[in-house]
Amino acid sequence: MVGTRLDEQVNATPPRPPEALATLTVFAGRPGTGKTTLAKALAQRLQACYLRVDAVETALQRTGRPVGVEAYAVIHELALSNLLLGLDVVVDAVNPVPEARVGWRETALRGRARLLQVETWLPDQSEHRRRVEARTPDIPDQRVPSWLEVENQTWVPWETERDGPRTLIETSDSGEALTTLLALHAPV
CATH number of the domain enclosing 162: 3.40.50.300
Containing structural domain, residue 40: 18-185
> In this predicted model, what pLDDT tens digit does every residue of 78-117 receive, in sequence order?
999 999 999 999 999 999 999 999 999 999 999 999 999 9
- Does a structural domain hold residue 135? yes
- Does a structural domain hold residue 34? yes
Strands 89-92 and 49-52: parallel
Q: Domain tally for the chain?
A: 1
- Segment 37-60 shows an average pLDDT of 96
- Does a structural domain hold residue 114? yes
| pTM assigned to the model | 0.86
- Does a structural domain hold residue 69? yes
- Does a structural domain hold residue 48? yes
